[in-house]
């Protein structure tokens, strides 16, 4: 029997799992419109390959992965591309993003696709197939799967079936109904990383899922481990700690300690891609809360929330919005036209009775309950203090980026402080400043490169001119060479010296001219060049000022 370990903190919010886990899952109907954001994963946005009026087949690539940390987007059904334009997307920023909208033709006709003989292909090629098949982590983080599996060596492969967030039951239903296919997907992951051991962690509040997966894993060498129900056991680092006793270092990832971690739903998606040739075009979504028939639906990506709620019998009276995801980490929205994306595991229809508005926040009383609950072993009250006072440097010192935004601290806070919002604000500010700094650095490098090129061009021109003059000087004596006398040789030597002196002088002139276009002397630049330099200097000054503020002690 495996020894289980404990992570720091954790909470026990009401589970609300049974509401949606009693019915078998069903397939959501084809909607009238599918809206597919190009950014459905962590990393670079996919690049659109289609335009309005294009006809597409089911499974066809709509947008290709850009770079290593990216994933492709595919057509969930056959139809026509209506537009490639900005559209509202389910993102905390509330900003619109580029989306491909498809009008289904109802035929649901597949593009050519076929299973892969994965054991016969190099692992690099199989990883590339995962990237081009749009496979990302379906546990919520949407990290491209091929990147997670690239690191080596892997001692332990961990499959995450914990599903600790209240109300969400997608992984539970998937494990109960499709355990064999999940295990087939796990075998592909094992082939890729060749781990010494493979563990599936499932919270012990899902006995049917545990039994189904245990049966599917018989004689495979995969170990199914029932772990105690405690939020947030499904956090990657927390599950790794429970199963292996190993701590993922601050700022690190499980692969830093020889562990590869993947969600059970991701393993299922890998199976569909490799054994059936089907890219990621759908996923299981829990539709629950203040809705007539809570249940789990197999949903085409791009389907609007409104269609799912309608299929689940419609919202009950008193509904006042939606949570995308669970109540601890989810996104509260009012727009029912937002679409299902790869990371959407749950839609909760809200009502004030189910989710009463939080009482007004009171001052922090330094009770440290948040620190006791924090699974990342942070000091949430200090992070709150630094974020509130915009002391972002200190927040980073206190490992802000180890915060998994699980909400356990806010859940126990007697002052009802929306702590996670402060952490998200601080993180976004730090990212924005880094982006600004990178942009300023890139502009500076571009400008200096340009000056360098101007200098080089001038130098080359001067050298060419001098060479030309030298050739001309030798050409003139050559015309009278027939009457060469005994003192001709010294004369030619003098000519060469003179020519060399001319070259040296020309190079020196070029150097002096180049000095005139150095950044500090802008007199010879055009007004536009001078404006560019002034802008760069201003940005530098701004960044220096920011850095200065970040190193100041927190304000009392």
Q: What are phi and psi of 197, to 5 degrees?
A: -140, 150
Q: Which is nearer to ligand SF4, 211 or 364 (CB)?
A: 364
Map residue 37 onto helix, strand or coil.
strand
Do 248 and 257 form a contact (C-beta atoms < 8 A)? Answer: yes
Do 292 and 312 form a contact (C-beta atoms < 8 A)? Answer: yes
Do 226 and 5 form a contact (C-beta atoms < 8 A)? Answer: no
Upstream peptide bond of 153 is cis (omega within 30 degrees of 0)? yes
Could you identify the residue written with the tokens 């299973």?
Answer: 115
Map residue 524 onto helix, strand or coil.
coil
DSSP state of 357: P
Q: Shortest distance, CB of residue 425 to ligand SF4, whole angstroms?
A: 13
Q: Shortest distance, CB of residue 239 to ligand SF4, whole angstroms?
A: 14
Q: Shortest distance, CB of residue 259 to ligand SF4, whole angstroms?
A: 19
CA distance 477 to 470: 12
Q: Which is nearer to ligand SF4, 110 or 398 (CB)?
A: 398
Q: What are phi and psi of 288, to 5 degrees?
A: -150, -170
Residues that bind ligand SF4 (CB under 6 A): 364-370, 373-376, 378, 380-381, 383-384, 403-409, 413-415, 417, 419-420, 423
Q: Which is nearer to ligand SF4, 273 or 419 (CB)?
A: 419
Long-range contacts of 60-68, Cβ-Cβ distance < 8 Å, separation of 24 or more: 60/111, 61/132, 61/279, 62/36, 62/100, 62/102, 63/36, 63/38, 63/100, 64/132, 65/131, 65/132, 65/134, 65/144, 67/43, 68/43, 68/131, 68/147
Q: Shortest distance, CB of residue 91 to ligand SF4, whole angstroms?
A: 19
Q: Which is nearer to ligand SF4, 172 or 405 (CB)?
A: 405
Q: Which is nearer to ligand SF4, 59 or 407 (CB)?
A: 407
Q: Which is nearer to ligand SF4, 243 or 395 (CB)?
A: 395
Compute the half-sphere exposure of residue 330: CA atoms within 13 Å on the CB side of its CA: 22
Q: Which is nearer to ligand SF4, 366 or 555 (CB)?
A: 366
Q: Shortest distance, CB of residue 435 to ligand SF4, whole angstroms?
A: 23
Q: Which is nearer to ligand SF4, 317 or 360 (CB)?
A: 360
Q: Can you give the three-state secondary structure of 258-293, one letter per residue?
A: CEEEEEHHHHHHHHHHHHHCCCCCEEEEEEEECECC
Q: Shortest distance, CB of residue 374 to ligand SF4, whole angstroms?
A: 3
Q: Which is nearer to ligand SF4, 269 or 413 (CB)?
A: 413
Could you identify the residue written with the tokens 């950044």?
Answer: 519
Q: Which is nearer to ligand SF4, 390 or 509 (CB)?
A: 390
Q: Shortest distance, CB of residue 106 to ligand SF4, whole angstroms?
A: 45
Q: Shortest distance, CB of residue 373 to ligand SF4, whole angstroms?
A: 6
Note the Cα 149 to chain centre separation in Å: 16
Compute the half-sphere exposure of residue 216: CA atoms within 13 Å on the CB side of its CA: 22
Note the Cα 421 to chain centre separation in Å: 20
State in Å, rounded, how far the first CA of the chain is from the last one. Answer: 53
Q: Shortest distance, CB of residue 397 to ligand SF4, whole angstroms?
A: 15
∠ CA(152), CA(239), CA(187), 5° rounding? 50
Q: Shortest distance, CB of residue 225 to ligand SF4, whole angstroms?
A: 23
Q: Shortest distance, CB of residue 253 to ligand SF4, whole angstroms?
A: 16
Q: Which is nearer to ligand SF4, 309 or 378 (CB)?
A: 378
Nearest CA to 329 among 491, 200, 141, 181? Answer: 141
- What distances in angstroms separate CA 169 from CA 138, 285, 323, one per listed residue? 13, 8, 15
């Amino acid at each position: 029997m495996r020894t289980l370990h404990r992570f720091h903190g954790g909470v026990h919010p009401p589970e609300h799992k049974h509401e949606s886990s009693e019915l078998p899952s069903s397939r959501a109907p084809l909607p009238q419109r599918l809206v597919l954001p190009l950014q459905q994963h962590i990393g670079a946005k996919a690049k659109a390959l289609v335009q309005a009026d294009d006809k597409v087949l089911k499974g066809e690539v709509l947008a290709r992965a850009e770079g290593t940390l990216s994933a492709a987007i595919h057509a969930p059904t056959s139809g026509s591309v209506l537009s490639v334009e900005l559209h509202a997307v389910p993102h905390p920023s509330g900003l619109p993003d580029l989306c491909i909208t498809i009008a289904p033709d109802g035929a649901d006709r597949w593009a050519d696709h076929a299973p892969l003989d994965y054991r016969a292909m190099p692992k690099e090629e199989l990883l590339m197939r995962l990237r081009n098949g749009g496979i990302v982590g379906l546990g919520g983080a949407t990290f491209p799967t091929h990147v997670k599996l690239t690191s080596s060596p892997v001692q332990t492969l961990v499959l995450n079936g914990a599903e600790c967030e209240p109300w969400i039951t997608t992984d539970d239903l998937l494990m109960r109904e499709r355990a064999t296919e999940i295990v087939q997907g796990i075998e592909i992951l094992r082939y890729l990383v060749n781990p010494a051991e493979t563990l599936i962690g499932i919270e012990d509040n899902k006995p049917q899922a545990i039994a189904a997966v245990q049966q599917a894993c018989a004689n495979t060498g995969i170990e199914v481990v029932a772990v105690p129900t405690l939020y947030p056991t499904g956090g990657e680092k927390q599950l790794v700690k429970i199963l292996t006793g190993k701590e993922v270092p601050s700022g690190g990832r499980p692969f830093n300690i020889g562990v590869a971690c993947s969600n059970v739903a991701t393993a299922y998606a890998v199976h569909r891609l490799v054994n059936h040739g089907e890219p990621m075009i759908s996923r299981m979504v829990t539709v629950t809360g203040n809705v007539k028939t809570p249940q789990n639906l197999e949903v085409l990506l791009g389907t609007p929330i409104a269609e799912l709620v309608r299929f689940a019998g419609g919202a009950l009276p008193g509904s006042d919005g939606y949570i995308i995801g669970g109540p601890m980490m989810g996104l509260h929205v009012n727009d029912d036209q937002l679409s299902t994306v790869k990371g959407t595991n749950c839609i909760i229809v809200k009502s004030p009775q189910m989710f009463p508005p939080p009482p007004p926040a009171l001052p922090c009383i330094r009770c440290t309950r948040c620190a006791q609950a924090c699974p990342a072993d942070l000091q949430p009250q200090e992070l709150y203090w630094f974020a509130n006072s915009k002391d972002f440097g200190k927040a980073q010192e206190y490992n802000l980026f180890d915060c998994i935004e699980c909400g356990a601290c806010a859940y126990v806070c007697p002052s009802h402080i929306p702590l996670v919002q402060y952490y998200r604000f601080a993180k976004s500010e730090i990212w924005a400043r880094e982006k600004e700094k990178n942009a300023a650095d890139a502009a500076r490098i571009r400008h200096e490169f340009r000056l360098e090129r101007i200098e080089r061009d001038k130098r080359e021109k001067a050298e060419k001119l001098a060479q030309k003059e030298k050739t001309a000087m030798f050409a003139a004596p050559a015309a009278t060479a027939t009457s060469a006398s005994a003192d001709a040789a010294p004369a030619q030597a003098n000519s060469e010296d003179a020519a060399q002196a001319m070259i040296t002088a020309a190079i020196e002139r070029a150097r002096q001219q180049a000095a005139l276009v150095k950044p500090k002397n802008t007199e010879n630049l055009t007004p536009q060049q001078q404006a560019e330099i002034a802008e760069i200097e201003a940005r530098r000054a701004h960044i220096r000022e920011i850095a200065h503020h970040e190193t100041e002690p927190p304000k009392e």
